[in-house]
Amino acid sequence: MKLHSQSPSPQPSSGVPSPMTTEVMVVLTAKEGVTRQQIMNIMPAEIRATVKLYLDGKIRQWYSRGDGKGVIFLIDAKTVDEASAVVETLPLSQESMMDHEYIPVGPLMPLTALIGGLPASQ
């Protein structure tokens, strides 16, 4: 199953407050028809650009997918649009070789029940 979402899917209401977005997880996979060789031809530039984004604090964490089909980044962004602007600077994205799925993430809100309510900042 391929996921091509540019924005998160709506979540059912559970009565639990929605977390503020502190990062955006981005799942990157090669587009159908893009060969490994095409990716490898751009990989040196991709690696340099990714390391620069990491050193600049834009990419907080990065992982290889366990199935070998791409990578996962945790981007320092408050919105999908902010994360997309970061990812679109990467060479593989500029060459339209990658599909992206953006998932906003934040604190685990059910933990507020353990401390008797909402965090002090809210």
**Each residue of 76-86: pLDDT tens digit?**
999 999 999 99
Average pLDDT over residues 29-35: 95
DSSP string, 48-60: HHHHHHHHTTSEE
What six digits make up the tokens of 22?
């502190």
pLDDT over 90 at 24, yes or no? yes
Ramachandran angles phi, psi of 62, nearest 5°: -145, 145
pLDDT over 50 at 34, yes or no? yes
* Domains in the chain with CATH codes: 23-115 (3.30.70.1060)
Phi-psi region of 12 (alpha: psi -120 to 50; beta: other; left: phi over 0): beta
